[in-house]
Structure 1
Amino acid sequence: MESSEEAAVEKCRIHLRPGTLRDAPPATLHLLPCEVLVNRPTPVQCFFTPAIRQGPDGLEVSFRGRRLRGEEVVVPPSLVGYVMEEKGEVLVGKDPSVGSSNDDEPEQQELVEPPEALERDFDRFFGATGSFSRFTLWGLETIPGPDARVRGALAWPRLAAAIHAQVPED
């Protein structure tokens, strides 16, 4: 039986454009303790241009009149972080209403996968717009502790490797 959360998950295939990983420029990232209720490109840099100062217990900054405290988090050496963006694609050989070949839309690209393998509203395409090896993690009034979810996410690859490692026979 599916839970209500599982029923709400849209099934889709994710396609990654590997060429974008090689060309991804370095990005400066800030993980803020807030939610942005927009699902489109947004000029965040107009609203958050941090004047970061070193406080007695770590980094400090103000955002919309609230004090944020933070610290630099380094991505584990064996990993690289990427900023991903969904790319619009034209499904070649499919229904003509699926996409347009209009040159005014630079995000539209021709696919190299066989068109019969792709389905409208099922396949999603992503490319890297930036790469990072560190980011600033911000907390509201306090520095995010070791329990922060992002720390668990960064520890997961090391834990997965340990779980799947060959166990010596003793």
Structure 2
Amino acid sequence: MECGDEAAIERHRVHLRSATLRDAAPVALHLLPCEVAVDGPAPVGRFFTPAIRQGPEGLEVSFRGRCLRGEEVAVPPGLVGYVMVTEEKEVSMGKPDPLRDSGTDDQEESPLERDFDRFIGATASFSHFTLWGLETIPGPDAKVRGALTWPSLAAAIHAQVPED
């Protein structure tokens, strides 16, 4: 790497609020084949209440006049999925922090927390989700399927090789 490139790399120290993992309530998730140009909370439950029906090729639903087809996908055994939120340190200064372990607003920042630029925490958990595709069920080459196969592949790569 050239010296000039090092200045372009932005480094962040991230703190995971582990207590949020224990308190994350299970939710039903849908991975839709679309992008939303906004990053933040939204009252999705008010606007997306799918009338899912079982079709000949799997699950079917209509979304904004388009046919979506999907299937339930399980998180690999032994793992749990989490819906995470990020909070920048500058944003959190002086404001209530939804990721804090306690609901009090007058907590002082610990010396450890002063070393972090960003905080993340879980707002929900899941063990399965519905994967939707436009007109067809997403195939085996879908990025999410590759991500879900990684834990077993990583375990195989790092497993001890038996001696012959």
- The normalised TM-score by structure 2 is 0.82
Distance in 2, Cα, partners of 1:73 & 1:29: 10
Distance in 2, Cα, partners of 1:57 & 1:160: 32
Structure 1 contact 71–137 (Cα < 8 Å) conserved: yes
CA RMSD of aligned residues (A): 2.6
Distance in 1, Cα, partners of 2:83 & 2:9: 22
Distance in 1, Cα, partners of 2:85 & 2:39: 11
Q: What is the aligned-residue identity percentage?
A: 69
Structure 1 contact 89–110 (Cα < 8 Å) conserved: no
Distance in 1, Cα, partners of 2:71 & 2:65: 19
Change (3 A) 1:9 1:138: farther
Structure 2 contact 68–135 (Cα < 8 Å) conserved: yes
Q: CA deviation at 1:13?
A: 1.8
Structure 1 segment 82-121 matched on structure 2, within 5 A: 82-87=82-87, 99-100=93-94, 105-107=96-98, 110-114=108-112, 117-118=115-116
Question: Which residue of the partner structure matches residue 67 of structure 1?
Answer: 67
Q: CA deviation at 1:40?
A: 2.0
Question: Which residue of the partner structure matches residue 142 of structure 2?
Answer: 148
Change (3 A) 1:76 1:7: farther
Distance in 1, Cα, partners of 2:42 & 2:92: 26
Q: CA deviation at 1:15?
A: 1.1
Q: Please, which runs of 5 or more residues in structure 2 have no aligned partner? A: 99-104
* 3-state secondary structure, aligned to 2:141: coil
Structure 2 contact 13–115 (Cα < 8 Å) conserved: no
- The normalised TM-score by structure 1 is 0.80
Q: CA deviation at 1:148?
A: 1.1
Q: Please, which runs of 5 or more residues in structure 1 have no aligned partner? A: 91-96
Q: CA deviation at 1:139?
A: 0.2
Distance in 2, Cα, partners of 1:15 & 1:127: 9
Q: CA deviation at 1:75?
A: 0.7
Question: Which residue of the partner structure matches residue 159 of structure 1?
Answer: 153
Which digits, 9 at most, give the CA deviation of each residue in 1:107-141, with x for residues without a partner?
A: 366443435534xxxx1101111111000000000
Q: CA deviation at 1:147?
A: 1.2
Structure 2 contact 15–118 (Cα < 8 Å) conserved: yes
Change (3 A) 1:11 1:139: same
Change (3 A) 1:141 1:40: same
> How many pairs were matched up?
154
Which digits, 9 at most, give the CA deviation of each residue in 1:11-63, with x for residues without a partner?
A: 21221111011111001100000011102222222332111000011000011
Distance in 2, Cα, partners of 1:151 & 1:36: 21
